[in-house]
A and B are shown apart, each in its own frame.
Chain A
Amino acid sequence: MSDTDTPGDLQTLLDELAPLLVDGSPHAVALGLTLVSLKPGLAVMRAPYSADLVGDPESGILHGGVITALLDHVCGLAAFSGFGGQDTPATLDLRLDYMRPAKPGLDVTAEAVCLKSHGLVAFVRATAHDGDINDPVATAQAAFMVTGASKAAQERAVEALRSGQPL
């Protein structure tokens, strides 16, 4: 968070950008991912269960790739808000622990916390669960970085949003 922003201002900015952050990502849309909430350094997203996204037709379990994309995206949002909503961060690395398969038929929710962000790097931790966060499906730990490309993209996003132009 930059010194000039109070948390209130940041929340306003996040609310303003929220529709863009998930619905503006074709891959997230293709997987049906939705944003549940976005606060400074805290993001929650959901992957609704869908037969189209199954990894093993015999068991009906969601493909691990859905969980991977969900955790990557939610961690990115926590990093974005942790950076003060000023820069779209790029993933440096993502470490995933698959604790158990998600139960067939249940939506998966992922909650991410930005543990620390300073200057160029943000550290994020996330948990994915199918109803009880104390019985996780998977956890993630990730590091994000602000890059030249991500900075330019962020400027274009804010400009597009404020001018009401489609992306």
Chain B
Amino acid sequence: MLRLLSFTVFLATWWIAALIAGPAKLPPPPIVLAAMMTEARSGALFLNLGVTLARVALAFTLAMSLGSAIGYLMGRVRLANRLGDPWLILLLNLPALVVIVLAYIWAGLTEVAAIAAIAINKLPTAVVTLREGTRALDAALDEMATVFAIPRWRAFRHVVLPQLAPYIAAAARSGLSLVWKIVLVAELLGRPNGVGFEIGVAFQLFDIPLLLAYSLSFAAVVLVIETALVQPFEARLSRWRPRAA
């Protein structure tokens, strides 16, 4: 209910702002909706959204799995931390644009280059979060697992992984929002399709209804994924807590 109300407020604000600014700068909702419907009918909207989502999914999975593994290793092994730390700092502070441009130069304007560039941008934040989580692991529970001779994999699954779960969720949450942003830049710079590419085209043609149509459809998809996937996942992980934070 509250969500509906806030959506209505958003629409109303938009409409009023459109009236003040004039349709050339900010078209009112019906015009944008019409543009959206045209794109949807031709199939272009779904194709572009689908392509972008596929890139997000691939880059996100790649960065999360690799980043979690590296982060866990750096949290557990002092040498790995020593070796990895300078790289981590470098990657953390490298602007996304630099990574994307270099990836396109070195690997060509290819799908692999785009996905790798997005993944590399997200990787260091996952590493840092998971390293923090690994450092916070409860040594007392490790001792318990050792005393009871719980096999390594079983101990990892039941003792270690639940402790890391909030960190994984946090890395996923922040990582996803980062990937949503970077994927469009990567598409704008070097891909022939996707939401980012369409927004680039709309920008060059100064087609504001098309630009907004793609931006809002994309935002809607992000919202749906956040509420339908990320939030239930987090709630499930913390169900054992007496009061969920």
Chain A complexes with chain B? no
Give the B-binding residues of A (Cβ under 8 A). Answer: none
